[in-house]
Structure 1
């Protein structure tokens, strides 16, 4: 059983590409890349939190596909859990609205071209093993 506060991350895929978000804050994380997401609020499921966070942070409509096995410790008391997700048909293109200053869709060959946050590296590796099929 997970102890601590769950932070949800989205391995958001589109046409086989993974979305990476560059942090703009706090200063110690600025300039590094992560899977977008955020904290689960009281009364919501992790999947609901992920959909909400993607709407707030990126302005997109998305749906979760499946949980990526594993969890990764963050600063106490937080733990990162990741879900694969897809944009809903007709969703606006992602835009960096909060906490990020740049977004990049990374092809499989480009995944490691960005400086991922340390805790996101194993999560990204695992998410790639569970990517949804390209439609």
Structure 2
């Protein structure tokens, strides 16, 4: 079975995280995800994520940490290894290039969306680790 490594960004701003709805032109249209994309040959996961967010949302991000990866099989031939990174908005004006909508959600709102299957364990992990992540964000903001 082919394993496809994919990164995703948990982009935080004002104690909320950015969630993106897949457009009709994408696979799994209408489902929600954390934005990101496939790692290209010779590319680090971090470089991939920075590139993908620039391409998909026209913003730059700063990566400050990561959460546990998750594997999900959407078919019998391919497994997605989703690698989540904790990020903050660096610069730029948000522009939807691939997604049809984005929302900034607080912890208690996360479970209200219809998430893509591969993202559900990431949502659960994020929910459990929310307070620790907020502490990391405070520390990052203090140092930068």
Query: Following superposition of structure 1 onto structure 2, how do residues 1-135 of structure 1 map, counting pairs within 5 Å?
Result: 4-25=3-24, 29-75=28-74, 76-88=78-90, 91-98=91-98, 100-128=99-127, 129=129, 131=133, 132-134=136-138, 135=141
Q: How far is 1:48 from its partner?
A: 0.4
Q: How far is 1:38 from its partner?
A: 0.3
Residue deviations 1:47-82 (CA, integer Å, cap 9, x gap): 000000000000111011112123222431431111
Q: How far is 1:23 from its partner?
A: 0.4
Gaps of 5+ in 1: none
User: TM-score of the superposition, structure 1-length normalised?
Assistant: 0.85
* Residues matched between the structures, number: 130
Residue deviations 1:90-135 (CA, integer Å, cap 9, x gap): x12322112x100111112221221111221111221341524344
In structure 1, C-alpha distance between the alignment counterparts of 2:94 and 2:125, rounded to whole Å: 23
Name the Cα RMSD after superposition.
Answer: 1.9
Structure holding more helix per residue: 2
Structure showing greater radius of gyration is: 2
- Moved >4 Å (runs of 4+): none
Gaps of 5+ in 2: none
User: TM-score of the superposition, structure 2-length normalised?
Assistant: 0.80
Structure holding more strand per residue: 2
In structure 2, C-alpha distance between the alignment counterparts of 1:73 and 1:111, rounded to whole Å: 20
- 1 or 2 for the larger relative contact order (CA 8 Å, sep ≥6)? 1
